[in-house]
Structure 1
Amino acid sequence: MAVLGNFAGVRENNFNLLRCIAALMVIYAHSWGLSTQGEADDPLKIFLGGSVGMLAVNAFFIISGFLVMQSWGRQRSLLNFCRARVFRVIPGLFGVLLFTVLMAGFFWSTLDAEAFFRSGETWKYFYKNLLMIKTEYDLPGVFASNPYPDAVNGSLWTLRYEMKMYLALAVLGLLGYLGGKRLRLFVGVFVLWYLGNTLAGLWMLEAPVSDEMLRLSLCFFLGGLATCYGARLPLHGGLLLLLGALMLLSRGGLMYDLFAALFLSYAVFYIAYIPRGWILKYNRVGDYSYGLYLYAFPIQQVIFLKWPQLGPLWVFGLASLLTLVCAIISWHLLEKPLLDYCKRLNSAVTMRPVTAMAKG
């Protein structure tokens, strides 16, 4: 039987495809949430017991935890690790913020361009979202009359959580808690922390940790844990079906988030490595998932601005096509060139001590 550890270091996998599917799931969910109908009418949400967009974001964090943990092991340098994370997140974010502000100022806002660009709210939106100080959602005079008013890019909220996960992983790595007995200690502490905060929500008006932080940290943790204990994790279709059944049976219950995270984690790793052959050809295309995720929300809001009564499925199809164009441009002109530059920088830093030692 195949185990996850057998695929350690295998570069031919389906993670790019999975991230693209997750991004499309977010577009699908927002097509309902931003419409006059609302997400409550989404048939997939009714069946799954949770928002399709929420499950997609969970999958993003699972994949991120798995791959970023591997990155930490490869880099062996805090500088390299931090630089890799910054170059992955910031260029695409800068691009979408610049695109949004310019398009809003000249085409989407009810204010004239001069008033829009003079407004402090405009630049607060730009720099606070870029630095991930606080997620800002509105721009002056933009989308105020939409079915879901004022929100310009509701997808940006997850990026702050992503950066928090990177920081937490780096701190744990520096303290030596990503291997050996200390890792087992951390796993035990995390399980107690998660269960304690989950149960606290039953009798406390306000839980000590937000639902978002609890859910996303669990997903990131499960992804990272799979990197460490992959040699013990079998990949079998029967186990995938069992976890899927447990998720569906737990709908509406206290443990739904836990079972959903377990099922999604297992499904991600199963789909990433077990299907082979023609499906791997997707990797030749490029990684457009980040651009799809970043650009979709404002594009969907523009569609609803022009055609507020358009049905969710029509918006999903139209927005997916328009967003894909933006994602392709973002990947080839901005994200990939800077990622390649980052790799060259990190390779130079890695080689420097070796060269110095050889001369000595």
Structure 2
Amino acid sequence: MSLTLAECLARKDNDLAAVRILAATAVLHAHAWVVTTPGVKTEDFFHVFAFSLDFHGVHAFFILSGMLLTRSLMERPDALRFVVARLMRYLPGIFVSATVAALIVGPLATRLSLADYFAGGAPFAFIAGVTSLLDINAPLPGVFGTGGEPGTLYIPLWTIHYELVFAIALAAIWALGLMRLRWLVFAGLVATLAVALVWFWHGEAHLRLGTPHHLVRFCTAFGIGVALATFADRVPVSGRLMLAVLLITAPLAYSPLAALAGMALIAYGMLWIGFKGGPIAHALARLGVWSYGFYVSGFLIEQVLAHAFPGWSAWAVFGVAFALSIVAGGLSWRYVERPAIARTGYVTAALRRLPALRKVEPGDRPASVAPRD
């Protein structure tokens, strides 16, 4: 007898982190060509189910985030703490990585003198711009001015910008009580899928529109995740259903329905890997814990390798960058991310002491008592 998704999520022990490392690796793989091949575009990569593999990796991130963030709010309906947790999860790792880039990598790699490099405080403006996600494409003076993607050190962070916005929007919708109306969640999903169906009927024909195109695909992926969490008690998790989803979606891989078929396959494949994946998924999940630092610093590492060894192929850059990104991810988790997450309760309690927030959630514990995580 198969378990429902709600029952699987209630067990807490799962291998969903395996999905994160697989998705991050797909992005790192594509970016190895970006840093080594001038002029390469998304259209040049292998496409299936309407998108390149790195785009599918990003969709997996958004589906998983939509599901887990909604589940988090369901288990602990505290909108303020939820937003603080997202900020503590995302920003400290970016800040440390950007600081290393600006104060260690930059001075070693710049073609300028150190006096010119630090003139006007440019490295510190870089740290602020990248950490705040307001200017993720900020350059460092005289650093990486040539190559496949000159001047850019943190190209993957644009997706984290969307994730953070979606998380805050989700918290606001929850605070308004709208997420408790299951019929409204279902109606929202139907509307989102309808828009996606029309938008992606011809694949990525609208890719050059930029933000609107990405909003449609990210909203679709995130919305699927929200629906999975909302209707988790109705979603069975089984190998037979995984096979059925595969058999139904595979013939649609190059049809006008390819985009939605691909997201459906990713969504259910994510559940199968996370709860039925076995020893391989369990081993990948151990690496997946480090996937955020891997994702944040991976492109920077690839840029360093591409400029230090200009004769290397994309495959060589990818292979070495993968190993170094695992190390970076492990260090980030151990010394930056986990300690920051542990402070979520204390930061939330401190914010509740502010007069403007003191009466936002009257049912909460007194602000003088810091909740334990």
- Secondary structure in 1 matching 2:36: coil
* Structure 1 gaps, min length 5: none
**Could you tell me which amino acid in structure 2 is paired with residue 317 of structure 1?**
G
TM-score (norm 2): 0.83
Superposed displacement of residue 116, structure 1: 1.6
> Is the alpha carbon distance of 1:11 and 1:347 closer, same or farther for their aligned partners in structure 2, counting shifts above 3 Å?
farther
Conserved 8 A contact 1:36-1:309: no
Give runs of aligned pairs for residues 32-71 of structure 1, distance below 5 A.
32-36=33-37, 45-46=46-47, 50-71=51-72
Deviations, residues 284-341 of structure 1 (Å, cap 9, x unaligned) = 6772000100111011011111222312222111111112222111111111111122
Q: Which residue of 2 aligns with 1:232?
A: 234
Conserved 8 A contact 1:243-1:259: no
- Give distance in 1, aligned partners of 2:168 and 2:300: 29
Q: Does 1:332 align with 2:334?
A: yes
Conserved 8 A contact 1:49-1:248: no
Give runs of aligned pairs for residues 167-316 of structure 1, distance below 5 A.
167-180=168-181, 181-195=183-197, 197-198=199-200, 210-244=212-246, 248-251=250-253, 253-276=255-278, 279-280=281-282, 287-316=289-318
With 218-227 and 195-204 compared, the bigger mean Cα shift is at: 195-204
Q: How many residues align?
A: 356
- Give distance in 1, aligned partners of 2:138 and 2:105: 13
Deviations, residues 144-178 of structure 1 (Å, cap 9, x unaligned) = 12133222221111111111111221122122221
**Could you tell me which amino acid in structure 1 is paired with residue 150 of structure 2?**
P
- Give distance in 2, aligned partners of 1:188 and 1:139: 44
- Give distance in 2, aligned partners of 1:138 and 1:66: 35
Deviations, residues 107-131 of structure 1 (Å, cap 9, x unaligned) = 1111222212225654443222222
Q: Which residue of 1 aligns with 2:20?
A: 19
* Structure 2 gaps, min length 5: 353-362
**Could you tell me which amino acid in structure 2 is paired with residue 61 of structure 1?**
F
Aligned residues with identical type, % of pairs: 25
- Give distance in 1, aligned partners of 2:203 and 2:366: 50
TM-score (norm 1): 0.85
Deviations, residues 29-77 of structure 1 (Å, cap 9, x unaligned) = 2112322387679998256663221111111111111111111112222
More helix by share: 1
Q: Which residue of 2 aligns with 1:352?
A: 365
Superposed displacement of residue 227, structure 1: 0.5
With 23-32 and 253-262 compared, the bigger mean Cα shift is at: 253-262
Conserved 8 A contact 2:156-2:295: yes
**Could you tell me which amino acid in structure 2 is paired with residue 220 of structure 1?**
F
Q: Which residue of 1 aligns with 2:359?
A: none
